Amino acid sequence: MVRERARQEVVSALRRRVAAIERGGGDRTVVPPLTLGAPEIDGNLPHGGLARGALHEVLGGPAEGGGAAPGTALAFIAALAARAAADGGCVLWCLSRRGLYGPGLAAFGLASERLILVRGANDGERLWAMEEGLKCPRLAAVVGEVGRLDLGQSRRLQLAAEGHGVTALLLRPGAAGAVASAALTRWRIAAAPSAPTLGYAGVGAARFDVELLRCKGGRPGHWLLQWNEADDEPDDGQGGTQAGAFAVAAALADGPAVPGLAAARG
């Protein structure tokens, strides 16, 4: 029954795509892609960015037992979701645990009035919530912290995302590895030492070790990405936080940014 419906959805999605191609609009290029704002990475992706209305997977989320710092992956996915919602729309974030911190996310452009949080007790509830969210065209993106999912479940998410044009972002534990999924891209995000600033011993701009592990129709890549915060100028009374932007600090051919990083990450 379910499989039958899934098959019908596939067929109807294909029909829509064929119709779009026949209209001369091409495949997904009709909708402007979701860019990171860093030309080096966007240029490496097919269509110049992440396809909207599709499933993307980010590894490096909270592990079951805690342990390594998940802050980088959270921030990366928050920035992506914020960019998806930049021209209107909300973001639904399906949480696995408490602790996501509004002021920190706002610094990555994800304002609190744009963000709806829903907490699910298990992966099943979170996947259900994600799918519901993906069917709501008022949302720009749906983020889901999901530990385990199989190919069929990821395909359902991909179909729901495609059917309603809402971008799905899966945040998975860093250890979630080689399981096949229907996501168009798979990223691994880790922390990287901040940029050294001349004459300043403090913590510099946040840097991300960004690895594009898999990309449908594109090539994998590895970059050192830096988040440049907006100037901390005195607030002009608007009250809003000015979002910063990503910039590639270095392309990493292979090997980690810091010797010993890969070993430590295991």
Partner 1 sequence: MAQQGTQRIAAVNRAAAAEGVCPGLLLTDARALVPGLSLQPAAPAADARALAALADWCSRYSPWAAVDGADGVRLDVTGCGHLFGGEGAMLDDLLARLEDFGIDARATIADSLGAAWAVARYGGEVATVLPLDGAAAALAELPVAALRLSPAAAGGLQRLGLGRIGELPALPRAALAARFGREVADGLDRALGRAGEPLSPRPPATTFWSRLAFAEPIGELADITRAARRLTQQLCSLLAREERGARRLELRLYLVDGEVKHVRAGLNRPSRDEGHLMRLLAEHLPALEPGFGADLMLLTAPASEPLAVAQITLTGRELPADDGELGLLVDRLGNRLGMVNVARFAPHQSYLPERAVEVVPPLAPPSDTAWAAAARRPVYLLPHPEPIEAVAEVPDGPPVLFRWRGLAHRVRRSDGPERIAPEWWQRMRAEAAELAGETRDYYRIEDSLGRRFWLYRQGPYGPAPAPPPSWYLHGLFA
What is the DSSP-derived secondary structure letter of residue 7? H
Using N-to-C axis directions, what is the helix angle for 2-22 and 151-164, rounded to 10°?
40
- Does 266 bind partner 1 (CB under 8 A)? Our answer is no
CA distance 72 to 108: 11
**Contact with partner 1 (CB under 8 A): which of 209, 210, 211, 249?**
209
**Contact with partner 1 (CB under 8 A): which of 133, 173, 174, 221?**
133
**Contact with partner 1 (CB under 8 A): which of 84, 105, 141, 249?**
105
CA distance 182 to 171: 14
- Does 10 bind partner 1 (CB under 8 A)? Our answer is no
Binding mask 167-196 for partner 1 (x = CB under 8 A): -----------------------xxxxx--
CA distance 181 to 187: 13
**Contact with partner 1 (CB under 8 A): which of 44, 132, 175, 248?**
132
C-beta of 42: minimal distance to partner 1 in Å? Answer: 20
Tokens of 44: 């490496």
3-class state of residue 49 by DSSP:
coil
3-class state of residue 155 by DSSP:
helix
End-to-end CA, the chain? 42
**Contact with partner 1 (CB under 8 A): which of 136, 151, 179, 251?**
136
CA distance 260 to 265: 9
- Does 84 bind partner 1 (CB under 8 A)? Our answer is no
Question: Which residues have C-beta within 8 Å of that of residue 97, sequence separation ≥ 6?
Answer: 62, 145
Instruction: Pick the stretch among 6-14, 21-29, 168-176, 205-213 that binds partner 1 (CB under 8 A).
Output: 205-213
Binding mask 210-249 for partner 1 (x = CB under 8 A): -----------------x--x-x--x---xxxx-------
3-class state of residue 233 by DSSP:
coil
- Does 203 bind partner 1 (CB under 8 A)? Our answer is yes
Query: In one letter, which amino acid is 15?
Result: R
Under the rule (CB under 8 A), what is the footprint of partner 1? Answer: 66-72, 74-76, 78, 90, 92, 98-108, 112-113, 115-121, 125, 128-129, 132-133, 135-139, 190-194, 201-204, 206-209, 227, 230, 232, 235, 239-242, 257-258, 260-261, 264
